């Protein structure tokens, strides 16, 4: 996984080591491909830190999700879906109770991020990161959660952007996370799907959920106290309910699914056997 791939730009050691004055408080930037990717990944963390003094939340979407499925009976066309999904995403954060302090839509075409020149994508992400100087950056790892090419591409671009600015001092750019599902949890969910008579995922196939080896997980967050807020946000993604959950009205089941969240610590390198952090900011100044 992260740190083991020769194409990982984080291994190149191009760290600039910023040491200048830092903003007060701990800040987070989440970089994802589509509206709704952010509704699962790190939404609970934002809810948990929503009222912290100085907490700042930056959100970057590479696309507006206009290429997504349109569920039967939903009033959207191929032309209008992207705009609808932007509004759904914004409504989702309002429902969760904490809106981004800065929300950037890079406005690339959904489903075609791998056709954007890689350096252009890196520059677009880096421009926001350099302006915001977040403490922690979270994106998607090489598994893409669903092996989705857009997820993988925005994750690679964010890794490359982070590698330009990563720092071992001050409060900016201290940690890079990849949202992920531990293999053991994935297998438990698969068993539950079978029990419920649902089709299990096939992690060898594109667009199917998959886990990462448990030992790669560096952060495990107990977010039970905000799970219902996370679900309130998820429910606003109405055009996508059919791909997000088997039963959008089963709020309690959805809340159980989001009571924990996990991430791989992509940078700095995490020694094997290091304790699993219980918060994305744990141990940072
Ligand atoms: Zn997505």
Residue 99, SS3 per DSSP: coil
Q: Return the DSSP state at 278.
A: S
What's residue 246's pLDDT? 81
Question: Distance (Å, rounded) from C-alpha 127 to C-alpha 141?
Answer: 21
Q: For 19-62, how does the pLDDT look when each residue is reduced to its tens digit (9 = 90+)?
A: 333 345 799 999 999 999 999 989 999 999 999 989 999 999 99
- 61, 88 in Cβ contact below 8 A? no
Q: Is the model more confident about 37 or about 249?
A: 37
111: which residues sit within 8 A by CB, 6+ positions away?
63, 67, 149, 150
Tokens linked to 211: 């886990």
184: which residues sit within 8 A by CB, 6+ positions away?
211, 214
Question: Does 15 have pLDDT greater than 60?
Answer: no
pLDDT bin (cut points 50, 70, 90) of residue 247 is confident
283: which residues sit within 8 A by CB, 6+ positions away?
277
Q: What is the 3-state secondary structure (H, E, C) of 119-152?
A: HHHHHHHHHHHHHHCCCEEEEECCCHHHHCHHHH
* Model confidence, pTM: 0.90
Phi then psi dihedrals of residue 94, to 5 deg: -65, -45
**Peptide linkage before 268 cis (omega within 30 of 0):** yes
CA of 150 to the centre of ligand 1 (A): 7
Q: Which helix (H) or strand (E) holds 58?
A: strand 56-63
Tokens linked to 172: 């900016």
CA of 119 to the centre of ligand 1 (A): 21
CA of 16 to the centre of ligand 1 (A): 31
Q: Which of 74-83, 166-175, 262-271 has the lowest mean pLDDT?
A: 166-175
CA of 259 to the centre of ligand 1 (A): 20
CA of 111 to the centre of ligand 1 (A): 9
CA of 35 to the centre of ligand 1 (A): 7
Work out the average pLDDT over 238-257: 89
CA of 149 to the centre of ligand 1 (A): 9
Question: Distance (Å, rounded) from C-alpha 30 to C-alpha 33?
Answer: 10
Q: Which helix (H) or strand (E) holds 254?
A: helix 251-257
Q: Which helix (H) or strand (E) holds 45?
A: helix 43-49
How far separated are the first and last CA of the chain, in Å rounded? 27
CA of 206 to the centre of ligand 1 (A): 13
Work out the average pLDDT over 260-276: 94
* Nearest one of 136, 139, 133 to 121, comparing CA atoms: 139
CA of 147 to the centre of ligand 1 (A): 10
Tokens linked to 284: 């940072």
CA of 152 to the centre of ligand 1 (A): 10
- 154, 133 in Cβ contact below 8 A? no
Q: For 166-183, how does the pLDDT look when each residue is reduced to its tens digit (9 = 90+)?
A: 877 788 999 999 999 999
Work out the average pLDDT over 157-166: 95
């Amino acid at each position: 996984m992260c740190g083991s791939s020769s194409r990982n730009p984080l291994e190149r050691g191009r760290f600039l080591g910023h040491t200048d004055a830092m903003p007060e408080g701990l800040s987070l930037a989440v970089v994802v491909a589509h509206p709704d990717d952010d509704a699962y990944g790190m939404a609970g963390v934002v809810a948990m830190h929503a009222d912290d003094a100085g907490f700042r939340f930056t959100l970057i979407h590479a696309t507006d999700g206009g290429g997504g499925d349109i569920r039967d009976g939903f009033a959207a066309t191929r032309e209008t879906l992207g705009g609808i999904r932007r509004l759904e995403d914004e409504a989702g954060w309002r429902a969760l109770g904490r809106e981004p302090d800065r929300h950037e839509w890079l406005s690339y075409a959904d489903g075609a991020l791998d056709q954007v020149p890689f350096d252009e994508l890196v520059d677009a992400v880096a421009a926001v990161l350099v302006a915001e100087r977040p403490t922690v950056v979270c994106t998607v790892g090489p598994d893409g959660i669903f092996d989705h090419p857009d997820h993988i591409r925005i994750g690679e671009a964010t890794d490359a952007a982070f590698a330009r600015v990563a720092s071992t001092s001050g409060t900016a750019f201290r940690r890079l996370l990849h949202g992920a599902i531990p293999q053991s949890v994935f297998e438990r969910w698969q068993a539950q799907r079978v029990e419920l008579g649902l089709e299990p995922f096939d992690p060898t196939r594109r667009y199917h959920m998959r886990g990462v080896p448990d030992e790669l997980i560096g952060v495990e967050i107990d977010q039970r106290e905000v799970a219902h807020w996370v679900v309130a946000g998820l429910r606003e993604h109405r055009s996508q309910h059919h791909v997000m959950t088997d039963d959008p009205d089963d709020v309690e089941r959805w809340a159980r699914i989001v009571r924990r969240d996990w991430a791989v610590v992509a940078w700095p390198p995490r020694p094997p056997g290091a304790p699993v952090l219980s918060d994305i900011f744990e141990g940072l100044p």
